[in-house]
């Protein structure tokens, strides 16, 4: 059996939920067909057992010892075949379930990485999380049920043929009874589809609300809003509960139909068969066989209703998945090349000279952030890198050569060393140098296990200033060709800010670096300062030159103080 997940999940068909599910089935056609084959044999073996048992009873009635031994042997062989095909069916079912689920996870993760900053702008956290929490299971179930579902259809057809060849009325009763039962379940599927979609939407919104509350719990407590948001969460939670109860109402009716409808057909088949036996039209063995066939039909018919349910859920889940997969990045790359050099944003006029430590001080922080986004190709803009337009370079190359580090970046769960050295290539000396430049040595020294200490979710065990210094160390350790830092010292004290500014200048000596900040302590230690007003460069020079020559600059960086 092949290992999972696959190295390459492929390019999905996202034109519709059905096409996505069909594409998944085609991607694993070989194991899926093998599973369908084993499931079909598994059902067929069970379908032949009542006939063999009926023949054995007839042999007992006729006192035919040879016939009894023959049919007993047939039953034993069918039992062995059922055991083998049942094991293989289950193995293939698990494999197909996992293959479809893993493939969906791979596609969603690949798309999330491709979208980058576009993803949180277009989808909530809850919608993305729900793919991994529930949707992959429903998609796996929709592929898994194909095995037993197709096998059950073959089994029903086989039993119908056997019954028709034995007794035309009984065969016709089954032939018309099964489609009628399937049709009776149909009206339940459309409202189930709608209610499940509504429940998933509300669950995604609730997950987003929970993530926001947890992330901002400290702030909520500080402003006294904890109870207000708790009440809102409680109200949304009740809406999710009511939606779940609504779904359960339809599902309970569907579950009941899986029992009642086959039961009615069993009663009809058994009653008609008994009347034939009393009239002497069929022997006792065939009556037993008819009864067993009627009981056996419960399994494949319940499987058909189960298939309708799981395929419906899979269709809803596939719709959510293709919604993510169909989002296009706000920015894309080309196939051009650049030898590097001057990085210039034509809209604002900000120019980064190679090997220079430049600072951008803006009258509004949003303007500085917008410039950083354009220079880092996180937003469209007329930006040149050397002689080439930045938009013509492959986006992966841009990300490797130009690193934008802002305070929205997160620390991830794992060993601290791995979170700082994301490429796994840094030496101990390089780690120490990056931590020193970011004034983060004390953070590591205070941890019992040092760099081997585990980091909790989002680095919540660290204060805001500690997280900021660790993020700076991670950015320095990446050592990109161009490093753009957005307010890298906003959460640290003045003494640490001075040390970081001095050490950062030495650590990035000879390399292109931009710092977006209005801190005089940092600005005074840069090579060149660009002052931006209303999104455009107003003046530029050194920090001290601008303090003397530009009142707007002086007012911005000194906060209007004399």
- 403: pLDDT strictly greater than 80: yes
Spatial strand order of the sheet with 388-389 comes to 351-352, 343-345, 383-385, 388-389
Of residues 560 and 7, the one with the higher pLDDT is: 7
Question: Mean pLDDT, to the nearest integer, of 540-545?
Answer: 95
Tokens of 486: 């957005």
Of residues 371 and 330, the one with the higher pLDDT is: 371
Of residues 197 and 465, the one with the higher pLDDT is: 465
Lowest mean pLDDT among 79-83, 85-89, 158-162, 503-507: 158-162
Q: What are phi and psi of 456, to 5 degrees?
A: -75, 175
Confidence of residue 359 (pLDDT cuts 50, 70, 90): very high
Using the structure block, give the residue that is written with the tokens 């040149």: 384
Question: Mean pLDDT, to the nearest integer, of 34-63?
Answer: 86
Closest CA to 4 of 97, 142, 93, 102: 102
Confidence of residue 562 (pLDDT cuts 50, 70, 90): very low
Confidence of residue 215 (pLDDT cuts 50, 70, 90): low
What is the spatial distance between Cα 274 and Cα 282, in angstroms, rounded to a whole number? Answer: 9
- 362: pLDDT strictly greater than 90: yes
Question: Mean pLDDT, to the nearest integer, of 340-345?
Answer: 94
Looking at CATH, the fold of the domain delimited by 343-410+475-557 is given as Rossmann fold (3.40.50)
Q: In whole numbers, what is the pLDDT of the chain averaged over residues?
A: 86
Question: Mean pLDDT, to the nearest integer, of 407-433?
Answer: 88
Tokens of 158: 């086989």
Question: Mean pLDDT, to the nearest integer, of 549-553?
Answer: 93
- 214: pLDDT strictly greater than 70: no
CATH 1.20.1560.10 residue window(s) in the chain: 17-325
Q: What is the pLDDT at residue 368?
A: 95
Lowest mean pLDDT among 33-37, 59-63, 468-472, 483-487: 59-63
Confidence of residue 216 (pLDDT cuts 50, 70, 90): low
**What percentage of the chain reaches a pLDDT higher than 90?**
42
What's the Cα-to-Cα distance from 72 to each of 49, 53, 65, 158, 225, rounded to whole Å? 10, 8, 10, 21, 76
Looking at CATH, the fold of the domain delimited by 17-325 is given as ABC transporter transmembrane region fold (1.20.1560)
- Give the tens place of pLDDT for each residue, 303-339: 887 888 888 889 888 988 998 899 888 888 888 888 8
Confidence of residue 274 (pLDDT cuts 50, 70, 90): confident
Using the structure block, give the residue that is written with the tokens 């931009």: 514
CATH 3.40.50.300 residue window(s) in the chain: 343-410+475-557
Confidence of residue 218 (pLDDT cuts 50, 70, 90): low
What is the spatial distance between Cα 48 and Cα 42, in angstroms, rounded to a whole number? Answer: 10
Q: Tell me how many helices (H) and strands (E) the chain has.
A: 21, 12
Confidence of residue 469 (pLDDT cuts 50, 70, 90): very high
Return the half-sphere exposure (C-beta side, CA atoms, 13 A cut-off) of residue 513.
24
**DSSP string across 389-437:** EGGGS-HHHHHHHEEEE-TT----SEEHHHHH-TTS---HHHHHHHHHH
Task: Please give the span between the terminal C-alpha atoms of the chain, in angstroms, as a whole number.
Answer: 75
Tokens of 483: 């490093």
Q: What are phi and psi of 64, to 5 degrees?
A: -100, 95
- 125: pLDDT strictly greater than 90: no
- 226: pLDDT strictly greater than 70: no
What is the spatial distance between Cα 422 and Cα 464, in angstroms, rounded to a whole number? Answer: 21
CB 134 within 8 A of CB 317: yes
3-state SS, one letter per residue, for 211-272: HHHHHCHHHHHHHCCHHHHHHHHHHHHHHHHHHHHHHHHHHHHHHHHHHHHHHHHHHHHHHH
Handedness of CA 383, 384, 389, 394 (dihedral sign): negative
pTM: 0.68
Q: How, if at all, do strands 454-455 and 414-415 pair?
A: antiparallel
Confidence of residue 224 (pLDDT cuts 50, 70, 90): low
- 220: pLDDT strictly greater than 60: no
- Give the tens place of pLDDT for each residue, 50-85: 888 888 887 887 888 888 899 889 889 999 999 999
């Amino acid at each position: 059996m092949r290992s999972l997940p696959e190295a390459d999940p492929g390019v999905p068909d996202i034109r519709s939920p059905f096409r996505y599910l069909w594409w998944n089935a085609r991607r694993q056609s070989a194991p899926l067909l093998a599973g369908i084959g084993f499931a079909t044999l598994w059902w067929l073996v069970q379908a032949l057992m009542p006939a063999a048992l009926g023949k054995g009873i007839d042999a007992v009635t006729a006192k035919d010892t040879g016939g009894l031994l023959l049919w007993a042997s047939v039953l034993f062989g069918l039992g062995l075949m059922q055991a083998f095909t049942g094991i293989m069916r289950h193995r293939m079912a698990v494999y197909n379930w996992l293959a479809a689920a893993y493939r969906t996870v791979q596609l969603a993760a690949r798309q999330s990485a491709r979208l980058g900053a576009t993803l949180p702008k277009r989808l909530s956290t809850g919608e993305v999380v729900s793919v991994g929490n529930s949707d992959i299971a429903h998609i796996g179930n929709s592929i898994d049920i194909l095995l037993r579902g197709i096998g059950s259809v073959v089994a029903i057809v086989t039993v119908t043929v056997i019954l028709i060849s034995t007794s035309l009325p009984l065969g016709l009763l089954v032939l018309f009874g099964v489609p009628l039962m399937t049709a009776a379940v149909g009206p339940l599927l459309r409202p189930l589809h709608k209610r499940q979609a509504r429940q998933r939407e509300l669950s995604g919104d609730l997950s987003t609300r929970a993530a926001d509350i947890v992330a901002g719990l400290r702030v909520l407590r500080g402003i006294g809003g904890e109870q207000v948001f708790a009440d809102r969460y409680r109200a949304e939670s009740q809406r999710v509960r009511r939606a779940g109860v609504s779904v359960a109402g339809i599902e309970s009716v569907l579950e009941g139909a899986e029992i009642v409808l086959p039961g009615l057909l069993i009663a009809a088949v058994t009653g008609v068969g008994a009347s034939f036996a009393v009239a002497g039209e069929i022997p006792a063995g065939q009556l037993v066989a008819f009864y067993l066939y009627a009981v056996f039909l419960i399994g494949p018919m319940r499987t058909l209703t189960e298939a309708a349910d799981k395929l419906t859920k899979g269709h809803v889940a596939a719709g959510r998945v293709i919604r993510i997969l169909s989002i296009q990045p706000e920015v894309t790359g080309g196939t051009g090349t650049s030898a590097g050099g001057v990085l210039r944003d034509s809209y604002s006029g900000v120019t980064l000279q190679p090997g220079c430590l430049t600072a951008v001080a803006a009258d509004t922080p949003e303007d500085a952030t917008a410039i950083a986004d354009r220079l880092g190709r996180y937003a469209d803009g007329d930006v040149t890198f050397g002689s080439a337009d930045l938009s013509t370079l492959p986006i992966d190359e841009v990300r490797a050569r130009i690193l934008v580090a802002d305070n929205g970046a997160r620390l991830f769960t794992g060993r601290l060393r791995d979170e700082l050295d994301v490429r796994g290539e840094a030496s101990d000396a390089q780690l120490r140098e990056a931590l020193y430049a970011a004034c983060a040595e004390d953070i590591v020294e205070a941890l019992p296990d040092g760099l081997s200490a585990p980091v909790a979710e989002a680095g919540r065990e660290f204060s805001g200033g500690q997280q900021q210094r660790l993020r700076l160390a991670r950015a320095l350790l990446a050592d990109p060709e161009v490093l753009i830092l957005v307010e890298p010292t906003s959460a640290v004290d003045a003494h640490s800010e001075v040390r970081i500014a001095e050490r950062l200048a030495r650590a990035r000596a000879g390399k292109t670096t931009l710092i977006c900040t209005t801190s005089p302590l940092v600005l005074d230690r840069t090579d060149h300062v660009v002052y931006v007003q209303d999104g455009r460069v107003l003046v530029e020079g050194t920090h001290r030159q601008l303090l003397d020559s530009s009142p707007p600059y002086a007012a911005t960086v000194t906060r209007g103080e004399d």
